[in-house]
Structure 1
Amino acid sequence: MELAAHVGSRLRELRKVRGWSLSELARRSGIGKGTLSELESGGRNPTLETLYALTTALGTPLSTVLQGFAPTTAGISGQAVDAVLTERLEDDAAVTETYRIRIRAGIIQESAAHTPGTTEHIIVLAGTARVGPRTAPVTVGPGRHSGWAADVPHLYHAPSTDAEALLTVRYPH
């Protein structure tokens, strides 16, 4: 099953478990009903921003819709960020996801707030990244790291060249 069909099936399943209509999930996520219908049918490839909007509205980590794919095939791209899920760990306290990401140079990706208590941590492997809360991003160079509360709007930006990094997202239960 290709990624779009798998993700669409998982989104539909999560929506139905909550007893929500397409209209209700569209309203809660800010994603158009037509787009959501195409995603659920597997007829449209999701963007990173769209999946975060939908999984946040559903109150579930992004990896919930990506599970079941080998790390090399579970890549999702957004406006400025390409992300590949490499690890998902769930314990009694939280779901922790690790992604290998590339932040494309010169483009700012603004991410909406995730579910309450979510945090993100980045280790930059190459290039320079400007990351963190929209109101106070920090610059992180190769071999350096940073962390921030991701339950507020935040951003990713590689000012001059692509940045390669590891990103950990932790969603408390």
Structure 2
Amino acid sequence: MTDAPLQVGAQVRAHRTARGWSMRELARRAGVSQPFITKLERGDQLPSIPTLYDLAAALEVAPSDLLPTVGDSAPSTGLAMPGERGASQIRLLAGGPGRNLHVYELRLPPGGGDEEFFTHPGEEVAVVLEGSVRCLRRSRRAVTMAAGDALTLDPAVPHRWRNEATAPARVLLVCDDLTHGA
């Protein structure tokens, strides 16, 4: 998906200009820098998943509305999204605008994981494909999962993923974005 950054940038620009906002205004509302918005709209950079959700919230659209369609009618290796400070890698394997179901692969190196807690709409199911991970949930008990384990999450509860083991871990995340059709 070599043109994915251009597609994401075009979607962000279209939603921003439809609201009559400057890049500076979108940056302020999303909590990012104006130079980041410039790079994003030019197709020079992709947002991390947390930043994608911040942009979507600021623009009042579903996060998937800012992404290209992935895995539709042809096999795909997915869209690699930047991780937080290189601590994790995430790929959108299937989903996109108008899709309610989104499938992500999260790769966590030993000691890696999300820097901040994260929330999003819909439902989420996590399946550990290899290794072991901890799902840390604000105001709830942390859950440790091993390969083959599955967990249904309430993604409205702030959560983050950590690999506290000495081996890499892979997690399949299936998210249902209930903001479509709402």
TM-score class, shorter: 0.7 to 0.9
Report the secondary structure of 1:131's partner residue.
Answer: strand
More strand by share: 1
Q: Is 2:143 aligned against 1:138?
A: yes
Equivalence for 2:177: 171
Structure 1 residue corresponding to 2:104, chosen from 56, 81, 99 = 99
5+ residue gaps, structure 1:
none
* Deviates further, 5-14 or 77-86: 77-86
Equivalence for 1:43: 44
Residue-by-residue CA offset, 1:117-158 (whole Å, 9 max, x unaligned): 432210001101112523333111111111222223210111
Task: Work out whether residues 95 and 172 of structure 1, in 8 Å CA contact, stay in contact via their aligned partners in 2.
Answer: yes
Equivalence for 1:120: 124
RMSD value, Cα: 2.5
Alpha-carbon distance in structure 2 between the residues aligned to 1:58 and 1:95: 18
- TM-score, normalized by length of structure 2? 0.78
Distance 1:131 1:18, change over 3 A: farther
Report the secondary structure of 1:108's partner residue.
Answer: coil
Distance 1:37 1:89, change over 3 A: closer
Alpha-carbon distance in structure 1 between the residues aligned to 2:97 and 2:16: 21
Task: Work out whether residues 87 and 98 of structure 1, in 8 Å CA contact, stay in contact via their aligned partners in 2.
Answer: yes
Equivalence for 2:91: 84
Q: Determine what percentage of the aligned residue pairs are the same residue.
A: 30
Distance 1:56 1:96, change over 3 A: farther
Alpha-carbon distance in structure 1 between the residues aligned to 2:18 and 2:139: 36
Equivalent position amino acid for 2:126 in 1: I
- TM-score, normalized by length of structure 1? 0.82
Distance 1:5 1:113, change over 3 A: same
Alpha-carbon distance in structure 1 between the residues aligned to 2:157 and 2:163: 20
Q: Is 2:156 aligned against 1:155?
A: no
Runs (4 or more) in structure 1 with deviation over 4 Å come to none
Residue-by-residue CA offset, 1:2-53 (whole Å, 9 max, x unaligned): 3222211111112223443323322221111221122111223433332232
